[in-house]
Structure 1
Amino acid sequence: MSSRTLSHSAVSSQTLSQRLALAIGAGLIGLALVYFAGFSHIEAVHNAAHDTRHSAAFPCH
């Protein structure tokens, strides 16, 4: 048995275009969630988003 320590490096095998596509997709999902919460007629959803913005010290009005 060897006492050598193996080191693992995290190398991304994704191309730049794949990473860009993932970033754009994540951004679009994020925008959809913000739009849904901000303009929702469901009062509980809107109030939860509103309270979260206040707890993060983010001005919302």
Structure 2
Amino acid sequence: MNTASVSLGTSASSQSRLLQLAFAGLLGIFVIGFTGFSHIEAVHNAAHDARHSMAFPCH
């Protein structure tokens, strides 16, 4: 009985970690996509400066 609870806990933890990773990836894609291709000059310039500060190629 104790083994089953450990097994379920590991499975739930693995699913939770995968879900968190998926949401983090989607958030990153949204942020890069929205700010990188934004027609709002202030948003685009802020993203441009942030990319330079992280040594992320943008040109």
Gaps in structure 2 of 5+ consecutive residues? 1-11
What is the rounded CA distance, in whole Å, between the counterparts of 1:54 and 1:15 in structure 2? 36
Bigger Rg over Cα: 1
User: What amino acid is the match of 1:32?
Assistant: F
What is the rounded CA distance, in whole Å, between the counterparts of 1:26 and 1:55 in structure 2? 21
- 1:19-55, Cα deviation, whole Å (9 max, x unpaired): 1011101110111011000010000000011011112
What TM-score does the superposition give when structure 2 sets the normalisation length? 0.71
Give the aligned partner of residue 55 of structure 2. Answer: 57
| Structure 1 stretches of at least 4 aligned residues deviating more than 3 Å after TM superposition | none
Give the aligned partner of residue 7 of structure 1. Answer: none
Gaps in structure 1 of 5+ consecutive residues? 1-13
Q: Could you say what the CA RMSD is over the residues aligned between the two structures, in angstroms?
A: 1.6
What TM-score does the superposition give when structure 1 sets the normalisation length? 0.69
Comparing both structures, which one devotes a greater share of its residues to helix?
Answer: 2
Q: Are 1:41 and 2:47 an aligned pair?
A: no
